[in-house]
Amino acid sequence: MKKKKFSRRDAIKLATGTGISLSLGPLPSFADNGNKINAKNNPIVIENEKKGTTEWQLTYIHSKDYRSEMIEGYCSRTSLQAGETIDIFLSANPATEATVDFYRVGYYAGKGGRFMQRIGPFAVTPQPEPPIAEHRLRQCNWALSTSFTIPDNWISGVYLGKLSCSGHRYESYIIFVVRDERKADILFQTSDTTWQAYNKWPDNYSLYDSDQPQEPHSARTWVSFDRPYGKYPQVVDQPLSQGSGEFLLWEYPLCFWLEQHGYDVTYCGNIDIHNDRFGLDRIKCFLSVGHDEYWTLDMFNNVKQAVAGGLNAAFLSGNTIKWVIDILPSADVPLFDVKSNLTQDGQRISFKPNPKGRLFRTMHRLGRFGGLSAEEKARPNYAGPFVMEGPNEGTLMGARNPSVPNGSGDWIVRRPDHWIFEGTGMREGDRIPGLVGWEHCGDPLNLPGLDVIASGLTINSGGQQSQSAATVYPGPKGNWVFCAATIFWCIGLSQPPGLIPPYSHFGRPHGADERVQKITANFLKKCGIPA
């Protein structure tokens, strides 16, 4: 009998089984001619020809202490493929009937989203607030509200489930990524491990909150994906974000812009890069987006190996790859002692989670990529205790996280003759005001061929100063790596419906800028990806 081929998809299943737009129009140098050429075979162009709506946005929000107790929920998985099933857990206080309207986020003629399907109504009752477990872990064990199988015709993208109730007018979101295995030009990685690190739900239980002594940068606090996303707590008051992590704050403008210009893009989450090294072989360019601070060693090694093999990468993000994390199973059953599974240098000896637990649901810090700097070691809030240090993040990105990683500043041109500035008209010393923040990268490495294309002084709300540094360096096989070095980069690409610009450290970005658009398009074109 002929043996059935065991595919990568089989392996992944086995491992995981237990409005008018305000954006600037297209620049002449990368207008819609590419869309006409590629429309026949480009699913993103075909998808965005379908009718959009602004109804994906929340209208009425009621939050207290970060949570939306009147209606809130979470999903059993951060990402999945068409044909797979996601469990949805909802709570409403007071009890009511609820519906879930699913929307795919994209361009859609400037509307920003497309209505996909409604499920419900179904009865939703108040669910218990989880106890405070060891490591301050708050993991919900709510009753299942409904399960939903992703239709086969849903293409890869970021999907919002808008929660609405019959008993009142208030709304919130659930969020997940639909991924695929097709060959594509661009892979957009959402920064969902960082969303969870900053998630304070139900009240002050993020990775940065700790018992006495207050040590926000320690390894003592753990967080769970089995809970709703609370309202985002920093640098922008964004009620629209209730239940959607950080996606609508920092990542959505890039999604909107890429799909506006017909780029062939597919989507995944951080855990997919952790869990699936070979998924990087099907694309031309990997994108780290927005606020992408928390990576596992597997994530780093997988992207580093792919770049060594010829993959292009753009870090359109800031404060990127700072903390090494471990992603453990759910705490439905007692977790093993993590330290007993690590050597002194942090390498995994064995990984034997209880089979009753669900994989990739609990997260905590292990240490700092590149190790703590002398300045960081002197700060009491960097207390650890850390069990390892990761590789220097600059060996992948080209720049590091400086000891003072937050602040605001201008993005100032240093190498106007570089190909990345072609057609921008920018000269040395020209600046894009307020584009650097609210956290950034700096401290460029001396890598072969690396150019610091832009840099500038940043100042934070405590008066501390730092230098940002945007870099480009060549890979070994004609590929390229670009580090834009700021969380705010994507805000320079578009101003889609619902986006609220941030104000941080006494500064702010100005919004969509044709120079940011052109620089990004130039990099993608250099990678063999025209619009």
Mean pLDDT of the 37-44 span? 74
Mean pLDDT of the 87-116 span? 98
Mean pLDDT of the 379-392 span? 88
Mean pLDDT of the 146-161 span? 98
Among 367, 406, 382, residue whose Cα is nearest residue 214? 382
pTM over 0.85: yes
The predicted structure's pLDDT at residue 25:
36
pLDDT for 337 beyond 60: no
Mean pLDDT is lowest, of 5-14, 360-369, 426-435, 471-480, for: 5-14
DSSP labels, 491-524: GGT---TT-----BTTB---S--HHHHHHHHHHH
Give the C-alpha distances (Å, rounded to integers) separating 391 from 81, 321, 328, 400.
31, 10, 21, 11
- Residue 319 token pair: 């404060």
Beta bridge partners of 400: 442
DSSP character at residue 365? E
Mean pLDDT is lowest, of 57-61, 144-148, 214-218, for: 214-218
Q: What backbone torsions phi and psi does residue 7 show, to the nearest 5 degrees?
A: -85, 165
- Give the DSSP H/E element, type plus range, for residue 112: none
Mean pLDDT of the 16-20 span? 33
Mean pLDDT is lowest, of 60-69, 167-176, 335-344, for: 335-344
Give the C-alpha distances (Å, rounded to integers) separating 70 from 246, 353, 412.
21, 35, 46
Q: For 250-271, what is each residue's pLDDT tens digit?
A: 999 999 999 999 999 999 999 9
Residue 306 CA to its chain's centroid (Å)? 19
The predicted structure's pLDDT at residue 15:
37
The predicted structure's pLDDT at residue 438:
96
Among 336, 338, 400, residue whose Cα is nearest residue 371? 400
Split at pLDDT 50, 70, 90, the class of 344 is very low
Mean pLDDT is lowest, of 24-38, 110-124, 155-169, for: 24-38
Q: CA torsion angle for 152, 156, 158, 159 (degrees, to 10)?
A: -10
| % of the chain residues with pLDDT over 90 | 80
Mean pLDDT of the 391-412 span? 97
Q: For 505-529, what is each residue's pLDDT tens digit?
A: 999 999 999 999 999 999 999 999 9
Split at pLDDT 50, 70, 90, the class of 346 is very low
CB 373 within 8 Å of CB 394: no
CB 290 within 8 Å of CB 250: yes
Q: For 217-249, what is each residue's pLDDT tens digit?
A: 989 999 999 999 999 988 988 888 899 999 999
| % of the chain residues with pLDDT over 70 | 88
- Residue 32 token pair: 């819609």
Q: What span, in angstroms and rounded, lies between the C-alpha atoms of 353 and 368?
A: 25
Higher-confidence residue: 41 or 44? 44
Q: What span, in angstroms and rounded, lies between the C-alpha atoms of 394 and 229?
A: 30
CB 451 within 8 Å of CB 483: no
Q: For 173-211, what is each residue's pLDDT tens digit?
A: 999 999 999 999 999 999 999 999 999 999 999 999 998
CB 107 within 8 Å of CB 259: yes
pLDDT for 503 beyond 90: yes
- Residue 273 token pair: 């890069």
Q: Which of 24-28, 275-279, 304-308 has the highest mean pLDDT?
A: 304-308
pLDDT for 128 beyond 50: yes
What is the radius of gyration, based on Cα positions, of the chain?
Answer: 22
DSSP labels, 271-326: HHHHH-GGGGGGEEEEEEEEE--EE-HHHHHHHHHHHHTT-EEEEEEESTT-EEEE
The predicted structure's pLDDT at residue 29:
36
- Residue 147 token pair: 């399960």
Split at pLDDT 50, 70, 90, the class of 39 is low
The predicted structure's pLDDT at residue 336:
46
Q: What does pLDDT average to over the chain?
A: 89
